[in-house]
Amino acid sequence: MPNSTADLPEFSKLDPGQINAQLESILSENLQRIDTILLENSQYSWDNLIAPMDTLNDRLAKFWSPVSHLNAVCNTDKLREAYNQAQPKLSAYHSKLGQNHQLYLAYKQLANTELNSDQQKVIANALRDFELSGVALPTDKQQRFAAIKLRTNNLSTKFSENVLDSTQAWHKHITDQKELAGLPKLALAAAKQAAQAKDLDGYLLTLEFPSYLPIMSYCDNRELRSEVYRAFATRASATPANQQWDNSPIIEELLALRLEMANMLDFDSYAHFSLATKMANTPQEVLGFLNELADQSVNTARFEFNTLSQFALGLDELDKLEAWDVGYYAEKLKKQQYAISQEQLRPYFPIDKVLQGLFSITSRLFNFEISQIKQFDSWHQDVTLYQISRDDQVIARFYLDPFARANKRGGAWMDVCRTRRLTEEGEIQLPTAYLVCNFNPPVGSDPALLTHDELTTLFHEFGHGLHHMMTKMEYADISGINGVPWDAVELPSQFLENWCWQPQALTLISGHYLNGETLPADMLEKLLAARNFQSAMALVRQLEFSLFDYRLHLEFQPGDSVVQPLLDEIRLQVAAVTPPAFNCFQNGFSHIFAGGYAAGYYSYKWAEVLSSDAFSLFEEKGIFHCETGLLFLQHILEKGGSEEPAKLFKDFRGRDPDSQALLRHCGIGQ
């Protein structure tokens, strides 16, 4: 089957020294072209306004996508400098477009012409976004609004850099293996490999997740767990070791600027402002949703924590279960109750077998084939590139960058490389995604081995990728995840995670790296039995983050030192585990201070109601039921942002969503 990479980014040729000159040229030419479009036409049509605007937007996106991506996955001093210099230029450009009154009037004129439903959605979204960009403000206020947007962009970038730099600044060199007693062989080998990479003897611990989590979960050395926990929990804080990266003043300034921006548009708070582009309609609806889930789960979560405390007391006479003890004793309790642990599962999930299973499952559900593209321009040797085909036609592509390394942002995410759209030349541009994770890389001659938690992370990100790649939309603004309300965007990702818990699917995903044997029946039984182990504790942790985020953006007033007191208050309401006073969780909460989740972190739980209820139809029909898979493809994945998610869900499920499926999957209230 033919493949083409000619239209993909040339990462190896990206020169940080040229980025800003090239960007300035594109922005200048785009603005000139927009002026010409507005000047040459008095009656606007799709072809003389939207189609050329789409081309200009795509040109900029194609240039900026690899720059932004490399800044996240291969951060260097030169690239960071170029990226930071470019941010004000991009912010000014987008503010100028969003506040272009003549362009706004052109869109309004077009809204009153004959358009199909997809085109109407594009125009409606655009008019809404013009208004949310301050197009109706007086000139002096427009300038202030643009200045706020620029400043918040810069602050968010700095927040992310501070988290990365403080994470990478800490390491602990250990020469005595006894200090690491309890650590699994793979984690030990990885720590040894990390030390060797720095020309050190012994073992090197870092705050990257593949190093941090095994310490928290398995290391017998309580003092070491405490030290590593403190280092992680105080990243980007005012502590002496981190004060040069302290995010506290950034948080205060961001909150004040967001409130000012919302007030300028006559919203009572940034929480109100954020709902203009979401499924939920009012703050009361969001808070009611979160508090209802809390009411149904907090007692169970606290019972789970008390059970864990009693277990630790009985096992090691531990009078008080500290934050750095929770993961460690949870693993021991889980192993006692279910005789299973994440590390025991690793040998059965070598990454190649996992990918083979993932591709097989999604191909059966959504009727496509996936094949690898061997020759392509990459940014790292660990990266692979794949194409998705249907009926011998390539319909999408995706990069996979699975492993943790230095100068790579932590976490896992999907991002857009290319958006599906109909070009002015009448050709379909192939959607292309970046899929990024931070798993343990291969150690020695062994392949990379995933825990079951990491397996679900991979499925989650691939679900986002499918949302982007399976779209049939021809207009970029509603293609894939574009135009999808933020509180619905997690639906496909959380939906796909469900297959990680299905026996039929696990036979496809698992295969021991030494002999290829699938997960044994007894281990599978234990894994499934342990699925809801401490699930209420996990749920209230997400509710804590969601309530903190939403109430912070709802209640913040400049000059109030509300951040920590509010977090403390919410923990009293919903938390099962209360962190120590030195914990500065908020200083590393990149989702809301450096990502797109400000006043929107509740989206994870909101969408999980949708995803659980969507999957319940597969539970009724069969997890590989082709017709149901094609229904999900047709009504959810292909539609992108072309219709409201509530309607799309109802078209798929035949009714409104029901939260009981989520609680049932969590083992709560059964």
Instruction: List pLDDT tens digits, range 212-255.
Output: 999 999 999 999 999 999 999 999 999 999 999 999 999 999 99
pLDDT confidence bin for 24, thresholds 50/70/90: very high
Predicted pLDDT at 559: 85
Instruction: Tell me if the domain spanning 11-98+100-136 has CATH number 1.20.1050.40.
Output: yes
- 395 phi/psi in degrees, rounded to 5: -115, -15
Tokens of 296: 């149904």
Greater confidence (469 vs 42) lies with 469
- 156 phi/psi in degrees, rounded to 5: -65, -40
Predicted pLDDT at 3: 58
Query: Which residues are tagged catalytic?
Result: 461
Average pLDDT over residues 294-312: 96
pLDDT confidence bin for 666, thresholds 50/70/90: confident
Q: How far is CA 310 from the centre of its chain?
A: 35
Predicted pLDDT at 669: 62
> How buried is 137 (Cβ within 10 angstroms: 0-12 exposed, 13-18 middle, 19+ buried)?
middle
Report the distance separating Cα 21 and Cα 19, nearest Å. Answer: 6
Half-sphere exposure of 309 (CA within 13 A, CB side): 14
In CATH terms, are 11-98+100-136 and 248-340+535-601 the same topology?
no
* CA distances for 479 relative to 112, 389, 436, 468, 496, angstroms: 23, 18, 21, 7, 20
pLDDT digits (tens, 9 = 90+) for 488-531: 999 999 999 999 999 999 999 999 999 999 999 999 999 999 99
Greater confidence (222 vs 660) lies with 222
Tokens of 429: 């541009």
pLDDT digits (tens, 9 = 90+) for 634-649: 999 999 999 999 999 9
pLDDT confidence bin for 475, thresholds 50/70/90: very high
Would you mind telling me the total number of residues written for the chain in this entry?
Answer: 670
pLDDT digits (tens, 9 = 90+) for 378-436: 999 999 999 999 999 999 999 999 999 999 999 999 999 999 999 999 999 999 999 99
- Per-residue b/e over 302-326, b at no fewer than 16 CB within 10 Å? bebbeebbebbeeeeebeebbbbbb
Segment holding 645, helix H or strand E? helix 645-653
Q: What is the CATH number of domain 347-483+490-529?
A: 1.10.1370.40
User: Considering only CA atoms, which of 648, 646, 647 is closest in space to residue 638?
Assistant: 648
pLDDT at 40 over 60: yes
DSSP state of 46: I
How do the domains of the chain map onto residue ranges? 11-98+100-136, 170-245, 248-340+535-601, 347-483+490-529
User: Considering only CA atoms, which of 347, 383, 412, 72 is closest in space to residue 209?
Assistant: 412
Report the distance separating Cα 661 and Cα 498, nearest Å. Answer: 12
> Mutual orientation of helices 248-264 and 139-169 as an angle, nearest 10°?
160
pLDDT digits (tens, 9 = 90+) for 259-289: 999 999 999 999 999 999 999 999 999 999 9
What residue type is 400 in one-letter code?
L
- Judging by DSSP bridges, how do beta strands 432-439 and 393-403 pair with one another? parallel
Residue for token digits 């990390």? 194
* CA distances for 111 relative to 106, 120, 484, 590, angstroms: 9, 7, 20, 37
Count of other CB atoms within 10 angstroms of residue 291 = 15
Q: Which residues are CB-neighbours of 83 under 8 A, at least 6 positions away?
A: 19, 67, 68, 71, 157
Report the distance separating Cα 476 and Cα 51, nearest Å. Answer: 10
Greater confidence (500 vs 41) lies with 500
User: Considering only CA atoms, which of 504, 456, 470, 464 is closest in space to residue 619?
Assistant: 504
> Mutual orientation of helices 117-132 and 101-111 as an angle, nearest 10°?
150
Report the distance separating Cα 255 and Cα 560, nearest Å. Answer: 11
Read off the pTM. 0.94
- Judging by DSSP bridges, how do beta strands 384-390 and 369-373 pair with one another? antiparallel
DSSP state of 531: T
Q: What percent of the chain has pLDDT over 90?
A: 95
Q: What is the CATH number of domain 248-340+535-601?
A: 1.10.1370.10
What does pLDDT average to over the chain?
A: 96
Predicted pLDDT at 133: 97
Q: Which residues are CB-neighbours of 516 under 8 A, at least 6 positions away?
A: 353
Residue for token digits 């699930």? 535
> Mutual orientation of helices 222-233 and 209-218 as an angle, nearest 10°?
140
> Mutual orientation of helices 323-338 and 283-316 as an angle, nearest 10°?
70
Residue for token digits 């094949």? 371
Report the distance separating Cα 338 and Cα 534, nearest Å. Answer: 13
pLDDT confidence bin for 665, thresholds 50/70/90: confident
Q: Give start and end residues of each alpha helix (H) in 74-184.
A: 77-98, 101-111, 117-132, 139-169
pLDDT at 2 over 60: no
